[in-house]
Amino acid sequence: MKKLITISLLTSLALYSSQAFDGSITLTQNDNSTISGKLMGDPWFHYVETGGEIAVYNTTSHNYEYANLDTTGTIPKLVPSGVKVGLAGAHDNITPAQLIQARAQARAATVGAAAGVALKGMIGGKIWYMVYDDADLGKQMYTISVNADVDNMKEQRIMPTGSVLKSHPLSVTGSKLNVDGGQFYFKTFTQMQGYLEVKEYNIINGTNVLNRIVRWYDNQTDATTYYNSL
C-alpha cells in the first residue's frame, strides 16, 4: 500500500539576490542604432524596460526584442519575440498582471528547489531514530541512516528486535524527498522541539487517511524515552 508522509518545516527559507542596476542606459542594436532603456530585475526575472515595454536580448539576432512570456515549463521565463525594439507599432504581449503572476510562479518554483537543498542538509549525514505506535504493528523504533547527499536511506528496526537492514534510494524534487518505489513521499518537515514530527497517511481510494504519527530523533536516549512512554 502506498504511504504518504507529510512533514512541515517551520524553518523559514529565503533566497537573496542583488537587484539589477536601476539607472537608465543606452543599448546598441545589431545595426548600430540605439535605444534608451532601464535595466530591471529581481532574483527571478531580468529584462529591459524601454518606452513602457518589456524587452530582452536575443543572442541569435543580437538585438533587443520585445519580450514574450513562455509558460510551457515549470518556471516561467521571458523570451525574445523576434520583433526588434523600435519598429513602428510593435510592442510586447505581456500585461502587468501576467508579469506579476509569472514572477510569483517563478519564485515559488525557485524556493521549492531551495527547500529541497535545505531538506538534504537537514537530514543528510545523520543517524535518526524513528519511533511510532502502529495500530496493527504496535510500538516500533528504527535506526535511520541517511547519507550526506541524500542518495539513499538505510533503516533497521531495533525495538522490538527482529528486522533486517533495508536500503531505499532517495531523490529530491523541489521541496519533496522521494523514497523508492512510490512507497513514501516526504513533502516538508515539521521541526519540533528536539525532534521531527511526521504524519503518515495511507492513500485509500485517492483519499489521504491518517495512519500514524512518527517522530524522528537525533539521539537514542530521547527516542527510547518516547518509545517507553507510548
DSSP state of 181: G
Domain 3-13+123-229 grouped into CATH 1.20.120: no
How confident is the model at residue 201, as a pLDDT? 65
How far is residue 104's CA from residue 115's CA, in Å, rounded to a whole number? 16
How far is residue 143's CA from residue 228's CA, in Å, rounded to a whole number? 16
Site of grid cell 500500500: 1
Handedness of CA 122, 124, 130, 136 (dihedral sign): positive
CA angle in degrees (0–180, nearest 5) for 151-157-163: 100
How far is residue 90's CA from residue 67's CA, in Å, rounded to a whole number? 11
How confident is the model at residue 179, as a pLDDT? 66
pTM score of the predicted model: 0.47
Every domain of the chain with CATH number 2.40.128 lies at 3-13+123-229
157-197 per-position pLDDT tens digit: 899 987 777 887 776 665 556 665 444 444 445 667 788 87
How confident is the model at residue 70, as a pLDDT? 87
How far is residue 93's CA from residue 111's CA, in Å, rounded to a whole number? 27
Each residue's pLDDT tens digit in the chain (230 positions)?
334 433 333 232 233 334 444 567 888 899 999 988 888 876 667 888 888 888 989 989 999 999 998 888 767 888 999 999 988 778 887 888 888 888 777 766 665 556 556 666 667 788 889 899 987 788 999 998 877 666 777 888 899 987 777 887 776 665 556 665 444 444 445 667 788 877 766 666 766 677 778 888 989 999 999 999 99
